[in-house]
A and B are shown apart, each in its own frame.
Chain A
């Protein structure tokens, strides 16, 4: 355990061993000194954070219950509403949007639990991407190798946790936007079951597929925060070792040897007893592609008509193409959802957990359009989400765990459970952590520190 873990901070603040205001000032100073290298933050709410922390200290001094996340600093992807601030969603267009009238529901819940909001985080424009190379707010760099991407679209959320700037962040995941950056940055990322976390006050990308979720450096931190956020936190408790199987076919096709090696480490630790095929995964990915383009294009049609040049070029052309798709494509993409969900449900009759890589490779270099995987050239933007898209398409809960590979670049593995069984994800991740098979990577600039 680290003194910077959310669970440790909350316990210390509740017990009066540390003051929230001191912790928050240290956090703000850390962001000021170190974030220049990563570009994870697009805004820092210093005055408000210190005021909230002082208020919390005063409440504790009066004997009030401070909440499960007492004094825990957190930050949010800049598509979450923060009262009094324009919700950017990574865009230039929304700089002039009216300030949000109230906090997004999840931001409000974290604050109500004693968490202290310290800032907003960089992302791909309108959450449409896997790289966080944002034309308006710059590139977020991977804390483990500054010449590489953090992944996206919640790249700032992953990098801020990976760099140890904050212990907890909120992100969103439509096609893999929590799991991909979590995997590339070596932290834990939870995309819960569709609808398990409310999305009120979260700027939409694809309403049919949008999920809110979390990043943290330990399973315990993730579980603590999830308990404070969920409408109905899971009450089921895993009581035995999970029956696990490795997803084959689409989910390992094109993966590098080091990714497959990391997947094997996790599979052996969980004593996975099978390799299974999730039938039609590639079709689910095509459906998710089409649905994202259709809904995204239609959502931004008004701005595309009059100010297309103000969009990030990497996003604009996909939104334009999506707007031009026939309506029937969207209908078909939605029609396939129950068919594919049924195929997944059949697998969960035999297994508690399914395992798959997060991405086919380690973090690509900045600005790289094409990456080499086992000697083959493949498109970065098209392939980073290949293994994540089919799973979010049917709303399954997935926890991306960082495989413990000291000295090497991070690789993430997806733990996938049946809808509503986040307990199985937390249980498996905790088992893997206890075995030393998964652990948040330590950034190079923190190796020498106690």
Chain B
């Protein structure tokens, strides 16, 4: 699950993001205690926004090459 969802990190809906958080934490053997979970999720969501901004810009960077290829 993690690998498939990871590719869409940046545009995950809140419930999917929460599921991603728990799965990724389990994969890393990194406990996220319930007391911290809401704050970690909020931070992860903010990082998701930054990721989306960055990826949109890099997609523009790649666009001319794609255009040329097509």
* Residue ranges of A at the interface with B (Cβ–Cβ < 8 Å): 280, 282-283, 286-287, 289-290, 293, 301, 304-305, 308-309, 313, 316-318, 320-326, 328-329, 332-333, 335-336, 339, 382
Q: Give A324 to B6 CA distance when docked, in angstroms.
A: 10
> Smallest distance from the beta carbon of A283 to chain B beta carbons, Å?
5
- Number of A-B residue pairs, CB cutoff 8 Å, is 84
B1-51 contacts to A, CB under 8 A, are 6, 9, 20-21, 24-25, 28-33, 36, 39-41, 43-44, 46-47, 49-51
* Residue ranges of B at the interface with A (Cβ–Cβ < 8 Å): 6, 9, 20-21, 24-25, 28-33, 36, 39-41, 43-44, 46-47, 49-51, 53-55, 57-58, 61
B53 touches A320 (CB 8 A): no
B54 touches A304 (CB 8 A): no
B9 touches A308 (CB 8 A): no
Interface CB pairs A-B, < 8 A, 8: A286-B50, A308-B33, A313-B36, A320-B32, A321-B41, A321-B47, A324-B21, A325-B9
> Smallest distance from the beta carbon of B44 to chain A beta carbons, Å?
4
Given contacts A329-B9, A329-B51, A336-B58, whether A317 and B43 have CB atoms under 8 Å apart is yes
Q: Give A384 to B21 CA distance when docked, in angstroms.
A: 28
CB-CB under 8 A from B50, the residues of chain A are 286-287, 289-290
Q: Give A323 to B39 CA distance when docked, in angstroms.
A: 14
Pick the residue among B31, B39, B49 that contacts A305 (CB under 8 A).
Answer: B31
Q: Give A320 to B47 CA distance when docked, in angstroms.
A: 12
Given contacts A329-B47, A332-B51, 11 further A-B contacts (CB under 8 A): A282-B53, A287-B54, A289-B50, A308-B31, A308-B33, A320-B40, A324-B21, A324-B28, A325-B9, A329-B51, A333-B54
> Smallest distance from the beta carbon of B54 to chain A beta carbons, Å?
5
Pick the residue among B9, B30, B54 that contacts A323 (CB under 8 A).
Answer: B30
Which residue of chain A lies nearest to B44 when distances are taken between CB atoms in the complex? A321
CB-CB under 8 A from A309, the residues of chain B are 33
Chain A interface mostly: helix
A332 touches B28 (CB 8 A): no
Which residue of chain B lies nearest to A382 when distances are taken between CB atoms in the complex? B46
Interface centre among A309, A322, A325 (most CB of B within 10 A): A325
Which residue of chain B lies nearest to A304 when distances are taken between CB atoms in the complex? B30
Interface centre among A301, A313, A317 (most CB of B within 10 A): A317
Interface centre among A293, A308, A321, A328 (most CB of B within 10 A): A321
Which residue of chain A lies nearest to B49 when distances are taken between CB atoms in the complex? A286
> Smallest distance from the beta carbon of B70 to chain A beta carbons, Å?
22
